[in-house]
Amino acid sequence: MIIEVTDLNFSEVVKKGKVILDFWASWCGPCNMLNPIIKELAEEHKELTVGKVNVDDYPELAGKHGVMSIPTILFFQDGILKDSSIGVVSKNVILNKLESLG
C-alpha cells in the first residue's frame, strides 16, 4: 500500500520502521518512470512503509526536507532521515539503501 503523505500525517508516517518517501509531481517525466518501481516495492515488501509526497500540493514539506529536484526518495528509519536518492534509480539501488538502514 502506498500512503499519500501530507503536512498533517508526515510525522505519523515516518515515525516507525523503514520508510521510503517519494517526492514527485504528475508532470515530471522521470517521476512517472520511477512510479512503477515504487509500486512494486510497496507490493513486494509489506514490512516497508511507502509514501508519496506531491510537491505541487505540499511544496513546504519538500522545502523543509531539502528536496530541490524530483524525483527524490528519502529513507527513514524510526523517524530519522538516514539516506536519500535523487533521480530515477533502479529497484536494486533502492533495496540496497534499505538494506543499509539495518
Q: Which of 5, 20, 31, 41 is catalytic?
A: 31
Number of domains making up the chain: 1
pLDDT digits (tens, 9 = 90+) for 35-64: 999 999 999 999 999 999 999 999 999 999
Confidence at 5, pLDDT banded by 50, 70, 90: very high
Per the document, the length of the chain is: 102
Position 102 pLDDT exceeds 90: no
The secondary structure of residue 54, as a DSSP letter, is E
User: Does the annotation mark 28 as catalytic?
Assistant: yes
Active site residue 15: no
pLDDT at 68: 94
pTM equals 0.95
d(CA 59, CA 17): 25
pLDDT reported for residue 64: 95
CA-to-CA distance for 102 and 97, rounded, in angstroms? Answer: 10
- Beginning with the edge strand found earlier in the chain, give each strand of the sheet holding 18-24 in spatial order: 2-4, 49-54, 18-24, 72-77, 80-86
Given the residues 2, 3, 25, 28, select the one marked as catalytic: 28
Domain residues for 84?
2-100
Task: Measure the CA–CA gap between 61 and 36, rounded to whole angstroms.
Answer: 23
- Per-residue confidence (pLDDT) for residue 101, from 0 to 100: 83
We report the CATH number of the domain holding residue 33 as 3.40.30.10
